[in-house]
Amino acid sequence: MSARDVRIGPTAHYTAYAWHRLGLPHAELFATSTGAGLFWTLRALGEWLVVLHPRLPSMLQYLEARHRGIEAALEDARPDRVIELGAGLSRRGLTWAARGVPYVEVDLPHMVAAKQERIAAMAPSALRTAVAGRLTHAAQDVLAPDFAGWLRQAVAGAERPVVIAEGVLGYFEPDERARLAGVIAAELPPGGRFLCDLRAADGGAAMRVAVRFLKAGIFLATSGRGARADFTDEAEIRSFFAEAGFRTAAPVPVERATPHLARLRQGVRIWEAVR
Ligand SMILES: C[S@@+](CC[C@H](N)C(=O)[O-])C[C@H]1O[C@@H](n2cnc3c(N)ncnc32)[C@H](O)[C@@H]1O
């Protein structure tokens, strides 16, 4: 396991607390004191300035568009299996598994252990029974050489598998992102989908401010580890998916899922790539 990636862990507490603030199903189970502390510290340190700006999203609005956008694309895909990479303390796996969809949450060992403890301690027994055998957790470093073999087994037999990486690729170096996208494309069957969020540097001054603010928040939450380089523009993102081996790739229209946030300049877009 890469020790450097352990520092990304606190951001999972932050986002889990955001899902709770948004009132999303089962998010209350993963609202930790670490998440609450980070959330309110960031608000006090200057996020309130962004909250007052008419076109810039607050961290909560940015995360809402991202999470609900992925959720809407997942609904459209009608998956028969979901593999979520870097799932952290997200409430999505529990929610979809309770609906009957086999769901595998992948993360580094310390995060998987924290999540399993949280579910055992906080989830009502009826919910634990409902997801038994459908929600599974895998301690895997997605950048490790043996990840491809693991993923091959994980998607075997699925007809409409979807791989998700929410709030994950932005922490990786460009060559690591390319390698991981290549592994996902190679292991998904034809028609399999990959949903992820990616930042591009184009988009004008308001977008640059939004991205700068977002990265400052990430720097704070990761004790200085920070986010990695952005893509230059949409064309570079399209080539990234094509070179990885995906047949098509397009941004997900998140305004459909969050029309109340459509006026905001989001610094990050959700992409759906199809094998
Ligand atoms: C910003 S959090 C996002 C959590 C969740 N996807 C969400 O949106 O709420 C990033 C997650 O990626 C995980 N992660 C970082 N590097 C990883 C790696 N090499 N392999 C697997 N998981 C990793 C972290 O432990 C963390 O849980």
Give kind and range of the element (H or E) at residue 243. Answer: helix 234-244
Model pLDDT for residues 54-75, shown as the tens digit of each residue = 677 788 888 999 999 999 999 9
How high is the pLDDT of residue 4?
53
Residue 250 CB: number of other CB atoms within 10 A? Answer: 14
Give how far Cα 190 sits from Cα of 28, 88, 118, 156, Å. Answer: 37, 28, 36, 12
Would the CB of 47 count as within 6 Å of ligand 1?
no
Give residue 71's pLDDT.
95
Contacts 24+ apart (CB under 8 A), 113-120: 113/139, 114/89, 115/30, 115/87, 115/88, 115/89, 118/29, 118/30, 118/32, 118/89, 119/29, 119/94
Determine whether the shortest distance from the Cβ of 41 to ligand 1 is under 6 A.
Answer: no
215-247 per-position pLDDT tens digit: 666 666 666 656 667 888 899 999 999 999 999
166 lines ligand 1 (CB under 6 A): yes
Supply the CATH classification number for the domain 3-274.
3.40.50.150
Q: Could you give the count of Cα atoms lying within 13 Å of 60 in the half-sphere of its Cβ?
A: 19
Ligand 1 neighbourhood includes 9 CB (under 6 angstroms): yes
State the Cα–Cα distance between residues 254 and 264, nearest whole angstrom: 12
Q: What's the CA gap between 201 and 234, in Å, rounded?
A: 9
Q: Which atom of ligand 1 is nearest to the CA of 111?
A: 25
Concatenate the DSSP letters of all residues of 142-205 into one string. TTSTTHHHHHHHHHTT-SSEEEEESS-GGGS-HHHHHHHHHHHHHHSPTT-EEEEEEEBS-SHH
H or E element, residue 62: helix 59-77
Residue 265: the pLDDT is: 75
CA neighbours closer than 13 Å in the CB half-sphere of residue 206: 11
Q: Using 50, 70 and 90 to split pLDDT, how confident is the model at 261?
A: confident
Over the stretch 159-211, which tens digit does the pLDDT of each residue have?
999 999 999 998 899 999 999 999 999 999 999 999 999 987 766 666 666 66
Structure tokens at 184: 């996902």
Q: Do the Cβ atoms of 257 and 68 come closer than 8 Å?
A: yes
pLDDT, the chain, mean: 88
Tell me how far the alpha carbon of residue 54 lies from the centroid of ligand 1, in angstroms: 30
Cβ of residue 70 lying under 6 Å from some atom of ligand 1 = no
Tell me how far apart the alpha carbons of residues 253 and 262 are, in angstroms, rounded to a whole number. 10
What local confidence, expressed as pLDDT, does residue 1 receive?
43
Confidence check: pLDDT of 129 > 50 = yes
Q: What is the pLDDT of residues 145-163, one digit of tens each?
A: 999 999 999 999 999 999 9
Highest mean pLDDT out of 4-18, 33-47, 98-112, 258-272: 98-112
- R_g (Cα) of the chain, nearest Å: 18
Q: Put the strands of the sheet holding 81-85 in their side by side order.
A: 135-139, 103-107, 81-85, 161-165, 193-199, 268-274, 248-251
Q: What pLDDT does 2 receive?
A: 54
User: Which residue shows structure tokens 């909560």?
Assistant: 60
State both tokens at 257. Answer: 């899922």
3-class SS at 123? coil
The structural domains of the chain, with segments of one domain joined by +, span 3-274
Q: Residue 263: what pLDDT?
A: 79
Q: Cβ(38)–Cβ(221) under 8 Å? A: yes
